[in-house]
Amino acid sequence: MFSVSIVYGARKFLPITICLIIGCLCEFFTYLIREHHLLIMGEQNNAIVGHVYKWTSFLTFGFFLYSVQKSKATKRYFVYLFSTCAVIGIFSQSRLKHYWLENDPWLAFSLMSAIIIASMVYFIQLLKARDGYPYITTGIFLVSGSFLISSAVNGTYVGVDLEVWFLESPLIEWF
């Protein structure tokens, strides 16, 4: 839907389309890592894929939410919000020993919180103005919230047996 809208001139959806494409690529690379077709520095570790998706989501959703703003004051607020959260995300990653090979819940917390706040601000504006993209904003809010929760509680695939990870075998045997 987004790519068709872009072809017909809705350039505001380009960041969301880029995020969806990167998300599909991240899922593909996670599958390759899980199936041992791709190793990161000799390890079966999908943390780098998570970092790429977190930063891509932050940048693309943030750019979309910034670009649909009409008020200069709100745009300035969004720049401050996104800049502050990006600096917090960079500092949270820089304190790790193995920068790309560790899952850091603070990265998702700092980046996705900014997107959630910005989408709430935009949704409140939509309630007053009655024009804009309410379904897309609701989707961004839900995706960002669920991604924040899953990134904060999920680890990476390092040292975890895939049967335990997916809970396939124990649940099937139990029933």
- pLDDT confidence of residue 175: 53
- The model carries a pTM of 0.75
- pLDDT confidence of residue 4: 55
On whether the CB atoms of residues 161 and 51 are closer than 8 A, the answer is no
- pLDDT confidence of residue 82: 93
Amino acid code (one letter) for 20: L
Q: Which sequence spans correspond to the domains of the chain?
A: 2-174
- pLDDT confidence of residue 78: 93
- Cα-based angle 5, 10, 11 (whole degrees, multiple of 5): 115
pLDDT tens per residue, the chain (175 residues)? 555 555 556 677 788 888 888 888 988 988 888 888 888 777 777 778 888 888 898 899 899 889 888 889 999 999 999 999 999 888 888 877 766 677 777 778 888 888 888 888 888 888 877 777 777 777 788 877 777 777 666 655 555 565 555 655 555 555 5
Alpha carbons 118 and 171: distance in angstroms, whole number: 40
